[in-house]
Amino acid sequence: MIRIGKPAPEVEGDAWVRGAHGPRRLNLSEYRGKWVVLFFYPRDFTFICPTEIASFGALQREFEREGAVIIGASTDSFYSHKAWFESHHQLLEVEYPVLADTSHQVSRDFGVLLEGGAAIRGTFIIDPEGIVRHITLNELDVGRNVNETLRVLQALRTGELCPVGWQPGQSTLTSYDEWLAKALPRLSRKVLAETTQKLQTVKYAAGDMVFNEGDSPDSFYILVSGEAEVFRRLPGGEEKTLTILEPGDYFGEIGLLTEARRTAAVRAKSSLELLALDWDGFRKVVESSEESGADFAEIVRQRLARG
């Protein structure tokens, strides 16, 4: 059963494409890396359908500006599509492909096939990774709102929390900690907002140990105020200062990434305020994108190289 947040079913079949000499083989996988708006309509040579189809055509450039392709589909044949789309006055400007799902397999997989063999008015937005992000179904007698489909696509592409009636250019509800954003500038706003909810504020007085060399790693820290000293104890008991941390600096990631005990100690030089992120929250940050994982891998490499 098709569900939001799950991979879209495979789509393969013949499609009508304006200007093509015959059916074009269409496979949904060829659009990987782009957003896909797939809409089903009941039948060719009907009354409501051309109004919807033409509306998608009129907004096709707007969808393309959002990195999306439009694909129409019905259970009619390629030849039925060809006869209708190349003769009906409302459809002469339609340029996107229209799938001929004569086997009914695609309509069945997307849960829009009716008993009589037609497809209900179903609209699906599929993201560049092939995941279904939006589904709407309309009864046959009511046409869909194509402008609303475009708005939903635009909202999904922000990756943020969009309130009711949100329009491009308006504020979203996504809020995040500015210190986190400065420390990890490549994180998406969505990940920043989710991670902000997991941050804990911790405070230390001057001279307090944040952690000792050899401790088990449990958190990642961002320094908000004060100064902290990173040091190691030499065999004779003397201390070797490695660096002084200032507001905006972060530390503690090496132990979490390497799953090794702390390689140095951290002590408050003055009153400290830190933001702490536990292991589970930090792991989700690292796994949130390839860029994040690569950034932290490079940080670990550089810090270990410095000793």
Q: What is the pLDDT of residues 112-155, one digit of tens each?
A: 999 999 999 999 999 999 999 999 999 999 999 999 999 999 99
Structure tokens at 252: 């503690």
Banded model confidence at residue 303, pLDDT cuts 50, 70, 90 = low
- Output the pTM of the full model: 0.67
Residues 6+ apart with CB under 8 A from 198: 277, 278, 281
Residue with tokens 């509800």: 173
Is 49 part of the annotated catalytic residue set? Answer: yes
Residue-level pLDDT at 306:
60
**From the CB of residue 265, how many other CB atoms can be counted at a distance below 10 Å?**
19
The top-level CATH class assigned to 12-158 is alpha beta
Residue-level pLDDT at 269:
96
Residue with tokens 């060399």: 213
Banded model confidence at residue 307, pLDDT cuts 50, 70, 90 = low
Residue-level pLDDT at 294:
77
Q: Among the options 8, 11, 26, 49, which is catalytic? A: 49
pLDDT higher than threshold 60 for residue 208: yes
How many residues belong to the chain?
Answer: 307
Which residues are paired to 16 by β-bridges? 98
**From the CB of residue 238, how many other CB atoms can be counted at a distance below 10 Å?**
9
**What percent of the residues of the chain are helix, what percent strand, and what percent coil, each to the nearest 5?**
30, 25, 40
Cα 291 from Cα 186, distance rounded (Å): 7
The top-level CATH class assigned to 178-306 is mainly beta
pLDDT higher than threshold 70 for residue 38: yes
Banded model confidence at residue 287, pLDDT cuts 50, 70, 90 = confident
Domain coordinates in residue numbering, the chain: 12-158, 178-306
pLDDT higher than threshold 70 for residue 305: no
Give pLDDT tens digits for 51-60: 999 999 999 9
Helices assigned H by DSSP within 41-102: 49-58, 60-65, 78-85
DSSP secondary structure code for residue 187 in this structure: S
Beta pairing class for 228-233 and 265-268: antiparallel
pLDDT higher than threshold 70 for residue 300: no
